[in-house]
Chains A and B, each alone.
Chain A
Amino acid sequence: MTSLRSIQDRCYRAFLLGDAEPLVPELTSREIPAPISIQVYQNNARETYRKALGASYPVVERLVGENCFRGLAQKYMREYPSTSGDLREFGATMPAFLLELYGDSEFAYLPDVARLERAVEEVQLNREGEPLDQGALRRLDPERYADVRFQRSASARLICSPYPILAIWNTNQPGQETEVDLSSGAEHVVVRRHAGNVELNLIDASSASLATHLDDAKTLAEAVAALDFGSADDPNFDLAAALQRLTSTGLLSGFTLARPTHQ
């Protein structure tokens, strides 16, 4: 008699990887021939994972078309098999998978659109963040601003892309149908959970760059010093306005001071 473990390993190989031969002798073929049984379960696996990825990445599915997405889902389920009984965890590495496939192609925007869709899904799972206490910031001695370390809200994500990903996302929502000029430039999108809904807001490149530097646990002074005004960042950078944008879009949730205050 074949052990339970061996039967299950054979099923896994047959249903997910297409290696059906070792499983055939384990099945009766009494009413349904073994190869047909295996086809049914292979079909179930393909459909389960296609639907799961389609639910997480509906814009990517719409962009590549149903048939292409079906092929992508099949390749993905074999290369990045599910590691959880909770199907919602499946597909977290889809952006990286698409980057491998399309990173150097004319469809290089797809991985970034997928990152945006993943962010939309993730923020729905986290607690709605408390807004940054701007009063506390205003009460701070201005001499201490340089030492402020901002904290990122767990219910917000920043997705930066050289492509107009929010425009692509918007035009691929149900009922929407407008042309997007792929050469229209970079978009930096803050995705947050707010008032029970998911909000997507654009911020400018300098604010996005500041947020990225603040992420590395830098103080405000260190983050500003790290801004590269010679390239993407705005030479007319307005720090107060940038902080206001990061706060109003919900990206920042709080702050600490790098050194204790000396009275």
Chain B
Amino acid sequence: MAWLEAHSENFFAADSIASGALEKIRESYPLSLHGVGLSLGSAGSLDHEHLAKLGQLVERLEPGLVSEHLCWGAAGGYHLNDLLPLPYTEEALEHVAERIAQVQDFLGRQILIENVSSYMEFKDSTIPEWEFLTAVSARSGCGILLDINNIYVSAKNHGFEATDYIDAIPADKVGEIHLAGHSVQVFEDQAVLVDTHDAPVCDEVWTLFEAALRRIGPRPTLIEWDSELPPLAVLLAESRKAQNLLDEVHDLAA
């Protein structure tokens, strides 16, 4: 195993049993901290208490990568604890880029921002998601955590080409790649792809991953499988498949 990724919030309690275990792991492995609760796109002010806890965690564990999501999750002081898509407008772009810059200033380092899966589109959106993400990176200076499964899920749900998305992302901004499985859920005869992290990576996503690697180059890659866990052998086989593709692209580039 080359490195580990952990959800930041699960380790905010410095003295917890879980934090003790992660600190031991950190002694031997590089670490990536992946936040799900900062709610960067929410209209209110930043949650400074949450940010302070993240800052303390980063200081404690000295991770190689710190990432958050291009999303919002709180309104009017209450949280939905979900990764909700933004309307892709100039107002939202300016707002979220400013907040990401604030987070980076506070942490004293660059963070990566991940694209999320979405199941709704706002009428007010005027900017394609890939242009929005690229602009967020350009304005705030953040890197990009490119989730290939999320691109695939949103492309199927909203009728765009996943390859258009991947081709539009500036390669030099991509610091990490995520892969995952999803499920197809049916609501009143309407099939919707939902990012559930409970299944193998599908063939189409593997194909997109390979195409992304050829364009962007090898990047630290993580497979998210955190629900309905299969036997370890299945996880290891998925991991090997990703590593083989990374090695192929690395050999080509050499």
Contact = CB atoms under 8 A, between A and B. Distances in A.
Nearest to A193: B17
8 contacts: A5-B75, A12-B76, A27-B123, A36-B187, A39-B187, A40-B185, A52-B81, A83-B77
A85 B121 contact: no
B188 interface: yes
A196 B20 contact: yes
B38 to A, nearest CB: 6
The 10 closest A-B CB pairs, nearest first, are A85-B37, A37-B120, A127-B15, A5-B43, A12-B75, A125-B13, A8-B75, A82-B79, A40-B119, A86-B9
A193 B38 CA distance: 30
B104 interface: no
Contacts of B38: 85
- Category for how many chain B residues contact A: 35 or more
A28 interface: yes
Interface string B12-32: 110111101000000000000
B72 interface: yes
A41 B79 contact: no
Given A31-B159, A127-B15, A1 B82 contact: no
A12 B72 CA distance: 11
A2 B126 CA distance: 13
B80 A1 contact: no
A261 interface: no
Interface of B: 9-10, 12-13, 15-18, 20, 36-39, 41-44, 47, 50, 53, 72-82, 84, 86-87, 89, 91-92, 95, 119-125, 157-159, 185, 187-188, 190, 192, 194
A34 B125 CA distance: 15
B80 A125 contact: no
Nearest to A6: B43
B92 A4 contact: yes
Given A87-B81, A88-B9, A124-B16, A41 B119 contact: yes
A260 interface: no
Interface string A108-151: 00000000000000001111100000000000000000000000
Interface residues of A, number: 49
Contacts of A258: none
Contacts of A71: none
Interface string A1-26: 11111011101100110000000011
A30 B159 contact: yes
Nearest to A126: B15
B84 to A, nearest CB: 6
Interface string A43-83: 11100110010000000000000000000000000000111
Contact of B121 (A9, A11, A27, A39): A27
B185 A4 contact: no
Contacts of B79: 81-85
Nearest to B49: A84
Contacts of A124: 16-18
A205 to B, nearest CB: 30
B76 A32 contact: no
Contacts of B157: 31-32
Interface in A75-107: 81-88, 90
A7 B122 contact: yes
Given A4-B92, A87-B81, A41 B120 contact: yes
Given A1-B89, A85-B9, 15 more contacts: A4-B92, A5-B75, A7-B87, A28-B121, A31-B158, A32-B157, A37-B121, A40-B194, A41-B84, A83-B77, A84-B37, A85-B38, A86-B50, A124-B16, A196-B17
A16 B78 contact: yes
A7 B80 contact: no
A2 to B, nearest CB: 6
A100 B59 CA distance: 42
